A = this chain, B = another copy of it.
Amino acid sequence: MISDIQQIRSFNREVTRRIGVLHHQFLGRNRPVGESRLLFEIGTVGKEVRALRTKLGLDSGYVSRLLRSLEKQGLVETVAAPRDARARVARLTLSGLKERQELDRRSDDAATSLLTPLDKNQRHRLLAAMAEVERLLGVGDLKISKEPADSPLANWCLAQYYAFLEDRFEEGYDPAQGQRTDSKEFSPPEGVFLVARRGMEPVGCGALKSAQPGIGEIKRLWVAKSTRGLGLGQQLLSALEKEARLLGMSAIRLDTNRSLTEAKALYLKNGYVEVQRFNDDPYPDFFFEKTLT
């Protein structure tokens, strides 16, 4: 029987080898990898040089030299950044865009070539397994942190949350119909707003407010589709309960819609018990409460 560690090492070896070969075959035509990476990273609308540097993790001098080389090839032009004339923005020229498109096309071809030997069922299995590996490898850098409840990040998460509800609720969802909450209620010292990130990307959120003295209420618990099944909902819930304890709350209540079966299961698993309806919000069907110990 192959051990867990052997399985991982074998995966690492085989998969990187295979993808490396693929990359070489399809992309490694004539341009050094550094230049191709840069061409890609600049994107269709251009990007500041400092952004390129941090994103690719390269030395400033090195990036500069790569840009000069791409400029000489007529693929890139750099102009001063609009607000800060020290910084520069690199943009693709017309032929740079064409070149990037070509790289993009080849990258697609490389991806396609992995599917061609497979039948329909096998393709489906491969894609599912790839998604699973990618998701699970991402668990390591899930981080939960407090954010100002009125920050662009928090608002972005809320927009995702509302879109999700709109999609999931049989009756649709209109934020204006729901119970209105001022972002101040989710701010210290009354409450808190947590955002979960994978790397830089926000993938979940949750908010705590004070419902009555000593009783907290959890709202806006959202987990991005790409991150479901990784226990992030549980992590957020635990983190919110911890915050509630720190705020001296002795109980937490929350409500949920009948369509959100995973959420209901999560609450039950965490010792929440069903109670009488405690608001007249039209969306929730179930009301829960838990005493914090």
Q: Interface residues, chain A, CB within 8 Å of chain B? A: 4-5, 7-12, 14-16, 18-20, 22-23, 107-108, 110-119, 122-123, 125-127, 129-134, 136-140, 142, 230-231
> Does B8 contact A115, Cβ atoms closer than 8 Å?
yes
Residues of B near A130 (CB, < 8 A) are: 7-8, 11, 129, 133
> Does A9 contact B107, Cβ atoms closer than 8 Å?
yes
> Does B19 contact A131, Cβ atoms closer than 8 Å?
no
Q: Please measure, in the bound complex, the distance between the C-alpha atom of A118 and the C-alpha atom of B141, giving whole angstroms.
A: 11
A263 shortest CB reach to chain B, Å = 20
Task: Tell me which of A7, A18, A126, A137 has the highest count of chain B C-beta atoms within 10 A of its own C-beta.
Answer: A137
Residues of B near A118 (CB, < 8 A) are: 136, 139
> Does B19 contact A111, Cβ atoms closer than 8 Å?
no
Q: Could you name 23 residue pairs across A and B whose Cβ atoms are closer than 8 Å?
A: A5-B112, A7-B127, A8-B130, A10-B134, A11-B133, A12-B19, A14-B137, A14-B138, A15-B15, A15-B133, A18-B137, A113-B140, A117-B142, A118-B136, A118-B139, A119-B231, A122-B230, A125-B132, A125-B136, A126-B132, A126-B137, A129-B129, A129-B136
Q: Closest B residue to A137 by CB, please name it.
A: B18
The SS class assigned to the A binding surface is helix
> Does A8 contact B127, Cβ atoms closer than 8 Å?
yes
> Does A111 contact B230, Cβ atoms closer than 8 Å?
no
Residues of B near A131 (CB, < 8 A) are: 7, 11
A160 shortest CB reach to chain B, Å = 15
> Does A14 contact B134, Cβ atoms closer than 8 Å?
yes
Task: Tell me which of A16, A108, A119, A130 has the highest count of chain B C-beta atoms within 10 A of its own C-beta.
Answer: A130
> Does B133 contact A133, Cβ atoms closer than 8 Å?
yes
> Does B133 contact A117, Cβ atoms closer than 8 Å?
no
Q: Closest B residue to A123 by CB, please name it.
A: B4
> Does B126 contact A136, Cβ atoms closer than 8 Å?
yes
Residues of B near A10 (CB, < 8 A) are: 134
Given contacts A5-B108, A134-B10, contact A117 B139 (CB under 8 A): yes
Residues of B near A129 (CB, < 8 A) are: 129-130, 132-133, 136
Task: Tell me which of A110, A118, A133 has the highest count of chain B C-beta atoms within 10 A of its own C-beta.
Answer: A133
> Does A15 contact B137, Cβ atoms closer than 8 Å?
yes
> Does A140 contact B114, Cβ atoms closer than 8 Å?
yes
> Does A231 contact B12, Cβ atoms closer than 8 Å?
no
